[in-house]
Amino acid sequence: MWLIDSSIGRKLIMSITGTFLVLFLLFHSCMNIVVIISPTAYNAICAFLGANWYAVAGTSVLASGFVIHILYALFLTYQNKRARGAERYAVSKTQKGVDWSSQNMFVLGTVIFGFLALHMYNFWFKMQFAELTGIHTGAYDPSKGAEYVKDLFSNWIYCAVYIVWLSALWFHLTHGVWSALQTAGLNNKTWLPRVKVISNIISTIVVLMFMAIPVYYLISNCSCC
Amino acid sequence: MEKSINISLKVWRQAGPKVKGEFETYKLDNVSTDNSFLEMLDILNEGLINHRKEPIVFDHDCREGICGMCSLYINGHPHGLDGETTTCQLHMRRFKDGETITVEPWRSAAFPVIKDLMVDRGAFDKIIQAGGYVSVNTGGVPDGNAIPISKVDADEAMDAASCIGCGACAAACKNGSAMLFVAAKVSQLALLPQGRIEAAHRAKVMVAKMDELGFGNCTNTGACEAECPKAVSISHIARLNREFLSAKFKD
Ligand code: HEM
Ligand code: SF4
Ligand code: FES
């Protein structure tokens, strides 16, 4: 099967799953930002999604997207290490114009994955999982999402952890978005630098929307104490 | 103006493909800054021969930047620090007095060391043999303007055709990927009417060969483009991706 056997096929899978994850993040961050604007509206969203069939179906598709992306990341990274050979350069310098993130996609991905596990425990396990199984894992009812978010981020350590996580995501995406397009065959010399700029803008929007939340709670907690 | 400098060279010495190699340091005094890097190595080798020692083996041929034979990873860069130059075009005036220069062979699983600084780049020949040619008989030379070709395509094809097959791209790539080379070879033919006919087949067989020979998966870091002595653009890689993917989707 050429999607597994050929390098470009494997890359295409990376690109499609990556793009899918980016689209999901855009959707996810748009929902999250509501918690700042209006906690009541946010609770309505939480209740609406909850553990209804469409949310569960979405979650499963999403989870498989992550699994495929990560499995292929492991596979590609292993093959690339092998292709580099056993002997390493004694002196090797990074070239001008080569982004740090582009050379550390796996490291960044691993950091993202680590925090993702924490994030799943913090939110998914205590909200959707609790509702699905009826097991009481969190202190809050899923339809009280906003109160739960506020409670979690009243701890500045959580705020800091989420901010670090989102920074790693930003680096992963600044390379990832344009790389995905290049992999899919968008070729144009004039557009290449523009696509890179667009990629930076998309990553920044996504990450800023997410980051606004811990930063908002961090600031509002600071001023009251 | 001509000057002389004293340098130390840390050179990779390896007696054969299966033998373990190691760095050896040589001191070389009074090197003229007008010497090319390869002339400097010639002088070093002459000294070694006079002392009945094994000379350092390295690849070279035209010494004017067109054949792609010269290689060498110099101070952490393939073909040295200068942009858009081959090792044979590098001069000693680019180095400082008293500098230690580290010289290594291309290191990539698909380019095994033959001896010292010489590697086997036969993998590239095999990729070309797989499909990097035009096999249709095009008959006699047609009239100059009989087949109109846009200036944009002609220029792109020329840029791709400037690849000399040196292997610096694969040597510099953290993934050991040969995509820039293969992309250049696929692009130069796919952009022109004669090569267009077999473009889909060519992309498939050349990529299959590249994968089979153990080159890595491109992650678009761009190190290849930065180190390529002919500044071949990674936009050719996107073209290769498109050629390959559309060929596969048509199947
Ligand atoms: C929110 C999560 C993530 C998003 C949105 C995301 C997005 C992307 C995108 C768009 C690409 C570019 C695909 C391409 O170049 O064709 C990519 C590549 C990659 N990702 Fe992720 N990713 C995520 C999580 C992860 C995780 C958890 C890992 C691994 C543990 C990972 C490892 C990689 C690797 C190794 C690449 C290959 C680099 C490349 O081919 O350019 N990613 N990712
Ligand atoms: S693309 Fe550039 S670096 Fe790669 S083989 Fe051709 S000339 Fe050398
Ligand atoms: S020796 Fe021919 S390109 Fe350098």
Q: Which H/E stretch holds residue B240?
A: helix B235-250
Please indicate whether residue A125 or residue A111 has the higher confidence score (pLDDT).
A111
- Residue A223, pLDDT > 70, answer no
* Residue A22: domain span: 2-83+101-224
A6 touches chain B (CB under 8 A): yes
Q: How confident is the model at residue A133 (pLDDT cuts 50, 70, 90)?
A: confident
Cβ–Cβ below 8 Å for B226 and A98:
yes
Ligand 3 site, residue B240, Cβ cutoff 6 A: no
Ligand 1 site, residue A10, Cβ cutoff 6 A:
no
Which ligand 3 atom lies nearest to the CA of residue B63?
A: 1
Q: Separation of B146 CA from ligand 3 center, angstroms?
A: 36
Domain-located, residue A88: no
Residues A15-26: tens digit of each pLDDT: 999 999 999 999
- Cα separations (Å) of B95 from A218, B59, B70, B227? 53, 21, 19, 19
pLDDT tops 90 at residue B10: yes
Every domain of chain B and the residues it spans? 4-104, 121-137+145-250
Q: Name the one residue in this structure whose structure tokens are 């606004």.
A: A212
Say yes or no to pLDDT of B242 above 60: yes
A224 has a pLDDT exceeding 60:
no
pLDDT tens sequence across B167-203: 999 999 999 999 999 999 999 999 999 899 999 999 9
Residue B144 has pLDDT above 90, yes or no: no
- Measured between beta carbons, which residues in chain A are less than 8 angstroms from residue B245? 8, 12, 184-185
How is residue B57 annotated by DSSP? P
Q: What is the mean pLDDT of chain B?
A: 95
pLDDT for A139 equals 62
* 3-state DSSP of B66-84: CCCCCCCEECCEECCCCCC
Asked whether residue A225 carries a pLDDT value surpassing 60, the answer given is: no
Q: Any CB–CB contact under 8 A between A134 and chain B?
A: no
| Number of independent structural domains in chain A | 1
Residue A148 lies in a domain: yes
Please report the pLDDT score of residue B1 as a whole number.
65
pTM, rounded to two decimals: 0.92
Nearest protein Cα to ligand 2, atom 2: B228
The conformational region for residue B24 under phi > 0 = left, psi -120 to 50 = alpha, else beta, is beta
Residue A113 has pLDDT above 80, yes or no: yes
CB A71 within 8 A of CB A177: no
Note whether residue A93 is domain-resident.
no
Fold of the B121-137+145-250 domain: Fumarate Reductase Iron-sulfur Protein; Chain B, domain 2 (1.10.1060)
CATH number at residue A166: 1.20.1300.10
In a domain, residue A92? The reply is no
Mean pLDDT, range A27-38, rounded to an integer: 91
Contacts of residue A170, defined as CB under 8 A and 6 or more positions apart, other chains included, come to A203, A204, A207
Could you count the other beta carbons within 10 Å of the beta carbon of residue A88? 9
Confidence of residue A192 (pLDDT cuts 50, 70, 90): confident
How confident is the model at residue B86, as a pLDDT?
97
Q: Does residue B2 surpass a pLDDT of 80?
A: no
Which stretch of A16-20, A218-222, B164-168 has the lowest confidence by average pLDDT? A218-222
Given this chain, do its domains B4-104 and B121-137+145-250 carry the same CATH topology?
no
**Model ipTM value:** 0.89
- Residue A115 Cα, gap to closest chain B Cα (Å): 24
Residue A49's pLDDT is: 86
Residue A37 inside a domain? The answer is: yes
Least confident of A22-26, A97-101, B18-22, B39-43: A97-101
- What pLDDT does residue B147 have? 87
Residue B111, strand partner residues: B108
- Predicted confidence (pLDDT) per residue in B97-138, tens digit: 999 999 999 999 999 999 999 999 999 999 999 999 999 887
% pLDDT > 70, chain B: 100
User: Is it true that domain B4-104 has CATH number 3.10.20.30?
Assistant: yes
For residue range B217-231, list pLDDT tens digits in order. Answer: 999 999 999 999 999
Across A101-115, average pLDDT: 94
Please say if the pLDDT value at position B155 is more than 90: yes
Beta bridge partners of B24: B11
In a domain, A53, yes or no: yes
pLDDT for A87 equals: 87
Residue-level pLDDT at A28: 93
Output the pLDDT for position B249. Answer: 94
CA–CA gap between residue A185 and residue B245 (Å, rounded): 8
Query: What are the C-alpha distances in Å from B22 to residues A8, A162, B42, B109?
Result: 36, 46, 20, 18
Condensed to tens digits (0 to 9), the pLDDT of residues A165-177 reads 999 999 999 999 9
Q: Who among A8, A82, A98 is closest to B109 (CB)?
A: A82
